[in-house]
Homo-oligomer: A and B are copies of this chain.
């Protein structure tokens, strides 16, 4: 399926929650409780997003996580890449040498174009946009002639 993993989905939910109070720090436990997911899962996600640079962390009492950047500057593309690695709609559009058809494939370049378009789409949706109701609409504008 052309689908993001549940983890990434959860990640966006968590980040959206944190974006409500961008200044304060949030502990894994409190986030888990608010969002209704098992603590261990939330903890794992926070660790991953921290390692990818989306969050900053502090240990000890009063510790927790907070957003590394302003909500306007974190996009869905950032979250996807943080939790799922390099962006690629097809195996082939992400990196060379992964697809056995690469040599004789006539449409590889086209998929890379599609990949760019979708990546771009996700880049234009920030955490801040997620908080506002129904801001994400509109059809993409292609130069594809057909």
Contacts from A to B (Cβ < 8 Å): 1-6, 8-10, 12-13, 16-17, 35-37, 72, 76, 80, 84-85, 87-92, 99-101, 104-107, 109-111, 113-114, 116-118, 120-122, 124-126, 128-146
Q: Is the CB of A3 within 8 A of B2?
A: yes
Q: Is the CB of B117 within 8 A of A138?
A: yes
Q: How far is the CB of A134 from chain B (nearest CB, A)?
A: 6
Picked from B12, B104, B113, B143, the residue with its CB within 8 Å of the CB of A107 is B12
Q: How far is the CB of A132 from chain B (nearest CB, A)?
A: 7
Q: Is the CB of B5 within 8 A of A1?
A: yes
Q: Is the CB of B16 within 8 A of A146?
A: no
